[in-house]
Each structure stands twice: as C-alpha cells, then as structure tokens.
Structure 1
Amino acid sequence: MNVGIIGTGNMGKVLIEAFIESKALLPSKLCIFNRTIEKAEKIKINFPEITVTSDAEDVITQSDIIFICVKPLQIHPLLQQISPCLTHNKCLVSITSPISVHQIESMVNCQVARVIPSITNRAFSGISLISFGESCSQHYISYINYLFSNISEPVLIEEQVTRVASDIVSCGPAFFSYLIQRFIDAAANKTEITREQATTLATGMIIGMGELLQKDIFTLQTLQEKVCVKGGVTGVGIEVLEKELGDMFEHLFQSTHDKFCEDIEDVHNQFI
C-alpha cells in the first residue's frame, strides 16, 4: 500500500523514520510533501527511495492512505485544497487532537481516521491513540493497526477522553522530562555531583524503571513499596513530594483542557 505524508515537521518526520526503520514500510512506498521543500528533501537524503512532491495534491494521487501532519488551524484550508482529489477508496489520517474524525468526514469524500502518536514511537515504543470514522473500512482499520503496531501499542479511544489521553501519551514525555531535568538540577545545586554525572545516573534510572514496568516485574505502586522502606531515606523524600506537589498535576490537566477548549473553538469556527 502506498502511504503519503503531508507535513514533515517534528511528528511527520518521526512517523516517516519509525515506519521505515521498523520495516513497517518500504521507503519506495512513501510519498511526502512539505511547504518548506528543503525539510522534505533532507529526509530524502537518508532515504533516497522516498518520493518528494512539489504539492499536496500529488501526494494524494500517488497514495492510498494519507497522513495529515500539519497544525490544527492549517487543516481546514488544506482539506479545501485537496478534497477534489480525495476519492472514497482513499483514507485520510489526521494526527491532531482538536479536530474530530466527524469534522473531517464532513468535508471530504474519503475514509477517515485519527491517530495521535507519541515521540516515544520513534523508539518503537509507547502508545498511539486511534479513532476511526464511520467511513473507515475494515481494510484500512487493519492496515492502520498494522502500521502502528510496528512502532507502538495502538489504543482505541473515545472522543471524550481525547485530551487527557493525549496529555498522558503525547505530552507526557515532555512533562516528565522537565521534571527529571529539575530533579537533576536540584541534585547538582545542592550537592557536589556534576550535572553530567547526575544526568547519566538519572537517565539510567529511568530506563531501568521502564524495564521493570515493561517486564511486569513491578507496578508503579509496588515499585514505590519495594523502594520506600518505612523510616528510611526514600520515605523522607516521598513525604517532601507529597507536601510540595499538592494539586500540581490537577492544575496541569486543567490548563491543558482550557487550551484544548480554545483550540476546539478556533477549529469549530473554521468548520461552520
């Protein structure tokens, strides 16, 4: 099956590299387009068999399934531009959360799905969040699941949990890398350890913890219980976290949902 990708920014590039390196997709089966053509040409340097086109319509005509990897407010004008090329036998896949599959289906005469990937998919790991439109055939449902099973664990989600699921899966790596960086900075500021050494130790710790969870050796709860000996150093540290964190994560989710509502309103005004 021929696959097209419109938009080769951060996530478009992640999908291209992950699909090819996982062997889910041959480079010769990929057709890509970016408004700044140099970005697409840079990807072709590493994968010469990829086809780079000069416009989005060429991607549509040369592909069976097309991933739209552009910003939310760019999707409506893009759909207006490419809709004449989108026939019922093709499938359009958006990777942006504020636009529902139903909104896209209202504008195009093709099959529609939405997949919200994560930066962790670049390492063939983590979760990808999937929603299928009513128009999507079993043929494309199976193929999308195949593609993302090679680079992630695909999880089907309902519309009402789109934002929080995206916060956990897609935004989560940025949130927790920030926390880990603060953890490292504090260690370097308060003790004699260097930032470089603290970074090495913290990185190894995170990777090791991930392996424990991946192999079902511990859950998050049992991991805390095993490390946190009553009256010990870890317990003292946990007490500080309990006191200092407060409602921080509740505030985080409230803020992301507030921004999401703004984005939905902006998008809605385009679609009416």
Structure 2
Amino acid sequence: MKSIGFIGYGQMNCMLVEGFLQTSALNPEDIIISTRTREKVNPLLERYPEIRIATCNSEVAEVADLIIIGVKPLEVTGILKEISGVRDNEIHIISLAACVSTDLLAQIHPGKITRILPSVCSTVGEGISLCYHHHRVTPDCARYVEELFTAISTVKLVKEELFEPAGDMMSCAPAFLSRFFLEFALAGSRHSTLTLNECLEMVVSTAFGTALMLQEGMEPEDLIRRVATPGGITEEGVKILERDLPAVFDRLFETTLSKYDLVKTRVSETFN
C-alpha cells in the first residue's frame, strides 16, 4: 500500500483521515501528517498510535508517495515551495484548495497533480468528491486516487473550469441547504405553537425521505405533481417558490462565482 501524507489538519484533512481509516481504505502505519497545531492530532493518535507525525512538511515529502494538501488557497504556494526538490517526480500531489488550478500548481511541482474537492457529507459516507487530473497523471495513479476517495464518497470527474459552479452544488451546498432547512423550520415555529426543534425534525426527516425518492430515480417535477395536486394548498406554496427562488439562486451563484474570481486573482499573485 502507498504511503499517504497529509499537510494541514483542518476540517477537510481531518475528515479524510478519519474516513479512510474507518473504511480501511488506509492503514494507520501508511499515514504521515504534518500540522502546525500538534494538539489537533492528539485525539487521533490516542486511537491510532501507529500514525506518524512529521516535524516539517519536507519530512512528509521524503516518505510519502501521495500528499494531500489541505490548507487555505493562499497558503498552497508556500507549501509547494517548502517541499520542492524533494522526490518531485515520485510524489503525486492532491490539492483540496479552491481556486488553485493544476496549471498553477505545475509551475512549482513538476510531478503528478490532482485536484479534489470533497464534501463534508463524506463524514457519513455520502456526497460527491469532484476530481480533475493534470495531464502528467498516469492512468494507474488516477485510478488509485479515484478508488481511494470512492471509499468515502462518489467520485465525479469534471473539467477543471467547472469546479467552482459544481462546488456550489456539492461542497458549499450542505451550508446552503442547512440555511434553507433552518429558515423553513423557523417559519414553521413562528406560525404555530411547535418548537423550533420539532419543526427541524419534521423538515430534516422529510428532506431525507425526499432525497431518497429522488436518488431512486423519481424526477423532481414528478414528485412535485404527486404532492401538489391542482388547486390544492401545496400548489399555492409551490407557486411562491417558483416565483421567488430562481432570483435567490441566481444571486447566490453570481455572488459566489464573483468571490471565486477574486480569490483566483489573489492566488495567481502568490505564484508570480
């Protein structure tokens, strides 16, 4: 089995390490972690003492076949420069950072490069991980990465230019949907004597069942017609959503895509 390095131990890399271990996709002795905050990994080490902790990022590069970089976009350049020159052609870099293209990464790292965008839903073994391989990645290496992430998610290969809009729908979406559920429940509690927790239970349970029906092949429009009978109460509510939601979601995409462009500009400056 390959030796896998993790640089950074924030929420995403923490989720990945836990998920890979829980699904036996990786063994503890195959993992080496570099983090600026040792306290973050102490609970993990209590359960998996075989995991190695590096004293610096270059130490990870000395032993790992594949390195998953889980830091903020503006920090990626510094990480790559720190490990540059250490087994470059042998290491496969996986970047989780938004707005950092593989072409930018390739300016510093001459070896294999893949971008992965995970979802917090992988915490429960669900959700999608977006994947794009730079042209230097061999078919065998691409297959290994895809199989690794399939242990905790559904891997979807997409063109790199689609990472941002797709990211809104799978990586950002848990926050967007949670906001929607919360506002729905808050409105329910304002218009009844039900508590917020009771309303949340109803909304979340119903959302889960709805997602299952859609996942099993029912089309959204068919499900709407099944529930919202002509002239009925539900149809009146659907009309409000049909009238108001398109503008809300258009504004959401316009705002987030504009922010992506701003971050891309700042990231590019760090590579110059």
- Sequence identity percentage: 28
Deviation at 1:139, TM superposition (A): 2.1
Q: Could you list the runs of 5+ residues in structure 2 that have no partner in the other structure?
A: none
Q: Which position in structure 2 is the counterpart of 1:61?
A: 62
Deviation at 1:148, TM superposition (A): 1.2
Q: Which position in structure 1 is the counterpart of 2:155?
A: 154
Alignment of 1:193-212 (within 5 A): 193-212=194-213
Question: Is the CA contact (8 Å cut-off) linking 1:24 and 1:147 kept in structure 2?
Answer: yes
Q: Which position in structure 2 is the counterpart of 1:243?
A: 243
Question: Is the CA contact (8 Å cut-off) linking 1:86 and 1:109 kept in structure 2?
Answer: no
**Letter of the aligned partner of 1:271 in structure 2?**
F
Looking at structure 1, the residues matched to 243 and 155 of structure 2 have their Cα atoms a distance apart, in angstroms, of 36
SS of aligned partner of 1:104: helix
Q: Which position in structure 2 is the counterpart of 1:219?
A: 219
Q: Which position in structure 2 is the counterpart of 1:253?
A: 253
- After the TM superposition, which segments of 4 or more aligned residues of structure 1 sit over 3 Å from their partners? none
Question: Is the CA contact (8 Å cut-off) linking 1:87 and 1:110 kept in structure 2?
Answer: yes
SS of aligned partner of 2:155: strand
- Give the structure-1-normalised TM-score: 0.96
SS of aligned partner of 1:23: coil
1:31 equivalenced with 2:28 (yes/no): no
Deviation at 1:237, TM superposition (A): 0.9
Q: Which position in structure 1 is the counterpart of 2:125?
A: 124
Looking at structure 2, the residues matched to 86 and 205 of structure 1 have their Cα atoms a distance apart, in angstroms, of 51
**Letter of the aligned partner of 1:91 in structure 2?**
H
1:139-172 per-residue CA deviation (whole Å, 9 max, x = no partner) reads 2101101011111111111122111011111001
Deviation at 1:61, TM superposition (A): 1.6
How many residues are matched?
A: 271
Question: Is the CA contact (8 Å cut-off) linking 1:41 and 1:52 kept in structure 2?
Answer: no
Question: Is the CA contact (8 Å cut-off) linking 1:113 and 1:132 kept in structure 2?
Answer: yes
Looking at structure 1, the residues matched to 244 and 169 of structure 2 have their Cα atoms a distance apart, in angstroms, of 21
Q: CA RMSD in A?
A: 1.3
Question: Is the CA contact (8 Å cut-off) linking 1:121 and 1:151 kept in structure 2?
Answer: yes
SS of aligned partner of 1:96: coil
Alignment of 1:1-272 (within 5 A): 1-216=2-217, 218-272=218-272
SS of aligned partner of 1:130: strand
Looking at structure 1, the residues matched to 47 and 253 of structure 2 have their Cα atoms a distance apart, in angstroms, of 38
Question: Is the CA contact (8 Å cut-off) linking 1:44 and 1:52 kept in structure 2?
Answer: no
**Letter of the aligned partner of 1:223 in structure 2?**
L
